[in-house]
Amino acid sequence: MSQPPPEDAPPGFLPQGGNYQELLSYRKSEIIYDLTFRFCEKHLKRGDRTIDQMVQSARSGKQNIAEGCKASITSAETELKLINVARASLEELLLDYQDYLRVRDHPLWDKKSKEALYVRKLGRTPDESYETYRPFMDTRPPQILANIAICLIHQANYLLDQQRRRLEKDFVQKGGIREQMTKARLEYRKKQQSQPPRPPHRSKD
């Protein structure tokens, strides 16, 4: 929930933000969640505990990016923490997909393979969404879908790493909300003190 700015803060003190749907990392994580949900529903046996683990990891990645973006309005520390949680959740999901391939003796695509490069190319399309990959979900075997998911997770993790580095840099340079509030108060009071005093009000006889 957004907090109001301090009373002595200038207008517009709190940064405008929170639109997580514009974040490429969020859009990528949403595709990963949609693909994972359908992959587990279609290719894992009902009752397999891995289903809940994979779906929850995919959901955690998506949700924590969104919550972190919302928290950015008032707390850089919280945003950074939630981005780290999202990154860890997607890493866990990555391991699940890799395990799926390994225990079934399916090959893992090399990052320079033509298949991986093709998925990477799809990932750069401006209007990328789950619909970009739906034809593969409907026609390709599970080992292909698992490799596609792995490629997408690597892309999302790269984006989150970039996002995390930017947040860390901003925090070091600008501080968190407390430091910014203190700075805003000092600047506002300094401005008030620099203004010439108003003449005393004289009442009419």
Instruction: Reply yes or no on whether the pLDDT at 9 is more than 90.
Output: no
What tens digit of pLDDT does each residue of 34-71 get? 999 999 999 999 888 999 999 999 999 999 999 988 88
Q: Residues near 81 by Cβ (< 8 Å), separated by ≥ 6?
A: 68
Among the ranges 6-10, 69-73, 86-90, 170-174, which has the highest mean pLDDT value? 86-90
- CA 45 to the chain's CA centroid: 30
174 is written with which tokens?
């600008």
pLDDT at residue 30 above 70? Answer: yes
CA distance 184 to 79: 21
Q: What is the spatial distance between Cα 24 and Cα 30, in angstroms, rounded to a whole number?
A: 10
Token pair of 70 as six digits: 């919302």
Helices (H) and strands (E) in the chain, counts: 7, 0
CA distance 173 to 155: 27
pLDDT greater than 50 at residue 11: no
Q: Are 131 and 27 in contact (CB under 8 A)?
A: no
Assigned token pair, 6: 């301090």
**Percent residues over pLDDT 90 in the chain:** 60
Q: Residue 84: pLDDT above 80?
A: yes
Distance (Å, whole) CA 164 – CA 172: 12
Residue owning tokens 């779906």: 55
Tell me which of 1.10.10.60, 3.40.1500.10, 3.40.1230.10, 1.20.1440.60 is the CATH number of domain 20-124+136-179: 1.20.1440.60
